Amino acid sequence: MRADLLADPVDGVDEVLVAVAGVDQALAAGLLRPQPAQVAGLAVLADAVAGSPLGARVAEAAEKAAAGAAGEEHFVSLAVARIALLGSVHDALMVRVGQATGRAPGDSSGSVAGGGQAENLVLAARSWLADLARAGWQGIDHDLVSGAEPVISALLPEPRLRRLAALLDGFAAELAASCPGSALERIPSRRWGDLWSRAMLLTLPGATEVPVGTVTGRLLPLGVDLHEHATAAQAQVHAVFEPADGGTPRLVRASVSAPKPDTIIGAGIWQLLRPHLSLLAAVSEGRSMELADMPITGEGDLLWRDEHARLGEPADPFATARVVLPAASALPTAPLDRHPARIAVPVFLEGYFAEQAGEALTFSLAGQPVVVDTDRVPAAGPLTPEAVATSNACIGLVRWDAGVFRVQPLAVETTVRKKVVALHAGAWAGGAVDKAGVKAEKAATDAATVLRERAGRLLRK
């Protein structure tokens, strides 16, 4: 990998982010009675998309919002403009990642049909999001934030609406813990702007519809990426798929997610997800899987169904990373998913020097440092920041946030008593066998047992 290319600034990104900051600043103070600074911020946003098909709608929305008279459709337009801008940042960053890794990003193609009638439940979410925008982050209070609860409770049981539900649930929890907004010393404005605008987007009918095909061939796992907030968790297995017909290998992902009580954490999350994705067991056992007619989206997300997969031969992820990964091609990100936070490109690194300076760890590749993000490595697993800092080879994901590319380790090879040992972040995903893992599993089982017992006894009364 060309680490120097990751360190160079990407042209145009800073300018786009200024326009994003304009709308974020407006959202911080709220759009009930906008002040001149906010009006200016909205104008910058409208200018930035003026030459695009969104131009007229966003200009109108910015004007209405500046007058404190924005309706829900205007807030949707502002959210969409913000997302479009970050989509362009995503594209520019992906071109750079492609140059650094030598893998061309997939051609972005396809469009979203959209249209149709939004369900009442989704409209209720949109109405809450509009109220949030009017109050602003500095104006949030418990009454406003708790208004999301009935909406979230109604959205959650419906897997079709899970994207919106999981997002709102995590977002509302952060807002609730930050009330009253008037007392906030600092505001995560980029983040909350992202979460708010994505939620708005997901209230548009058809926004989550994706084209689906099927694939048959061999799946070689690289590693597991975990996501979690207090009441939801998702495991994403990054893998290389080799088509049975001998076509080009492709980078794909398989995901499993579930809502959870906030006391199910650590190994408990693996236990929760494990029964729904047989691939997690294959990952822990170091095996490949044979897929037959497995559904897959246009951006390379397998829509996993256990009956379309069976356990295959042993497959060492480091062998996959060394031999197959360089030849694998990437599929294009779905148009509406284009956002810098969505960038997670598998890479294999070796021949680096790990350098620890205080909290910060870097891998020095040909004299060029790459920032290593060990904070994303889940605590429930054998991979630790210490192991990463003494590693010789690493399977990771290239990510970008707050202006910096980072590598998130999924697995490392390190030398212990003159022997090469591989440590995987997702080693416990399918079941832990080492001593620390077994102990963590036991504690997690106890917690889940208590909750299930309490639910069984008290819930249906």
What is the SS3 string spanning the chain? CCHHHHHCCCCCHHHHHHHHHHHHHHHHHCCCCCCHHHHHHHHHHHHHCCCCCCHHHHHHHHHHHHCCCCCHHHHHHHHHHHHHHHHHHHHHHHHHHHHHHCCCCCCCCCCCCCCCCCCHHHHHHHHHHHHHHHHCHHHCCHHHHHCCHHHHHHHCCCHHHHHHHHHHHHHHHHHHHCCCHHHCCCCCHHHHHHHHHHHHHHCCCCCCCCCEEEEEEEEEEEEEEEEEECCEEEEEEEEEEEECCCCCCEEEEEEEEEECCCCCCCHHHHHHHHHHCHHHHHHHHCEEEEEEEEEEECCCEECCCHHHEEEEEECCHHHHHHHHHHHCECCCCCHHHCCHHHCCEEEEEECCEEEEECCEEEEEECCEEEEECHHHCCCCCCCCHHHHHCEEEEEEEEEEECCEEEEEEEEEEEEECCEEEEEECCCCCCCCCCHHHHHHHHHHHHHHHHHHHHHHHHCCC
Applying CB under 8 A, the span of 30-38, 132-140, 169-177, 241-249 interacting with other proteins comes to 169-177
Applying CB under 8 A, the span of 47-55, 104-112, 126-134, 294-302 interacting with other proteins comes to 294-302
CB of 59 to other proteins, least distance (A): 26
CB of 323 to other proteins, least distance (A): 27
Residues 225-264 that bind other proteins (CB under 8 A): 226-234, 236, 253-263
Q: Does 154 bind other proteins (CB under 8 A)?
A: no
Return d(Cα 387, Cα 239) in angstroms, integer: 23
Residues 11-40 that bind other proteins (CB under 8 A): 17, 21
Residues 191-220 that bind other proteins (CB under 8 A): 191, 194-195, 198, 202
**Nearest Cα residue to 70 out of 45, 49, 96, 50:** 45
- Per-residue contact flags (x/-) with other proteins for residues 387 to 406, judged by CB under 8 A: --------------xxx---
CB of 341 to other proteins, least distance (A): 4
When binding is defined by CB under 8 A, the residue of 69, 95, 113, 455 that contacts other proteins is 455
When binding is defined by CB under 8 A, the residue of 50, 379, 433, 436 that contacts other proteins is 379
Q: Does 310 bind other proteins (CB under 8 A)?
A: no
Q: Does 448 bind other proteins (CB under 8 A)?
A: yes
CB of 314 to other proteins, least distance (A): 24
Residues 352-371 that bind other proteins (CB under 8 A): none
Total binding residues for other proteins by CB under 8 A? 90
CB of 363 to other proteins, least distance (A): 18
CB of 350 to other proteins, least distance (A): 24
Nearer to other proteins, 57 or 346 (CB): 346
Nearer to other proteins, 60 or 141 (CB): 141
Q: Does 266 bind other proteins (CB under 8 A)?
A: yes
CB of 222 to other proteins, least distance (A): 16
Q: Does 122 bind other proteins (CB under 8 A)?
A: no
Q: Does 322 bind other proteins (CB under 8 A)?
A: no
CB of 333 to other proteins, least distance (A): 9
CB of 35 to other proteins, least distance (A): 19
Q: Does 138 bind other proteins (CB under 8 A)?
A: no
Nearer to other proteins, 2 or 190 (CB): 190
Q: Does 163 bind other proteins (CB under 8 A)?
A: yes
Return d(Cα 368, Cα 427) in angstroms, integer: 30
* φ/ψ bin of 357: left (φ > 0), alpha (ψ from -120 to 50), beta (otherwise): beta
CB of 126 to other proteins, least distance (A): 16
